[in-house]
Amino acid sequence: MCLFLCCDEDCKIPKCKDIPIKRYFLPLIGVFALSALPELQNFVYLPLIITFGFLILFWNFPWIVYYTASKPLYYQDLFIDEKKLPNYDVDEGIKYKFKMILESVLITSNALLTGALADYYLYKTTGAEGYIEILGVTGGIIKIFQMINNSISRFMLKILKRCIRKENRDLKRKQVANIERILRLKRHQSTVWREIEMTHPPENRIMTRERADTF
């Protein structure tokens, strides 16, 4: 039985080297506790704390920012096999590249947006409101967050879709060019062999082989 994560090879606990680097930043989410201090509840420190905390949170759990950019589930989808739907023939390297671009943009923009909304929440709540008013302000801020996040996601998806199509066309063009170059090389080689056969007829080779057999 191992006492540390990296000691025993037979241990089923994940080793330190198998844990993603971003997981080591998860304890920094505790920075949210600083927002409860009255000294930091101002228009400078509060958005910085909220932005940093949500940046770590979205980085470790990107599905949170993907949620608004994903297709919703409808009743008709219960009878559709998504694996059989036609898709663009996109290279896996291109998919990974643009997935990381979209993820980075959404994580950064959503973290900055939460910081800005924290400032707005601080502006709208002065401490004299009741619970109903606080719930109304909170619901309005969440709605604003959804609207802005949806707009950013749609804008980024349109841009990335054009880039994916362009890069995929360029990749296919390069692949076709490589195939044509290989075919030309094979044709050239076959032409060279044909010229060699013409300069050395097969009768000569047969006669030489027969004469060699007589010896």
First to last CA, the chain: 78
- Residue 27, pLDDT score: 92
Burial 67-94 (b: 16+ CB within 10 A, else e): ebeeeeeeeeeeeeeeeeeeeeeeeeeb
Nearest to 121 by CA among 138, 136, 133, 144: 138
Rounded mean pLDDT of the chain? 75
Name the DSSP letter for residue 89.
Answer: -
Residue 146 to residues 5, 58, 71, 140, Cα–Cα distance (Å): 41, 15, 15, 10
pLDDT at site 119 = 83
**5: helix, strand or coil:** coil
Alpha-carbon torsion (188, 191, 196, 197), positive or negative: positive
Secondary structure E strands in the chain:
none
Residue 121's nearest CA partner among 202, 197, 41, 26 is 41
The CA dihedral of 149, 32, 34, 112, to the nearest 10 degrees, is -20
Q: State the alpha helices, DSSP H only, in 61-201.
A: 63-66, 92-124, 131-199
How many distinct helices (H) and strands (E) make up the chain?
A: 5, 0
pTM of the model: 0.62
Positions of the chain with pLDDT lower than 50, given as ranges: 1-5, 204-215
Which structure tokens are listed for 101? 């671009």
Structure tokens at 118: 């924290």
> Any idea what DSSP says for residue 15?
P
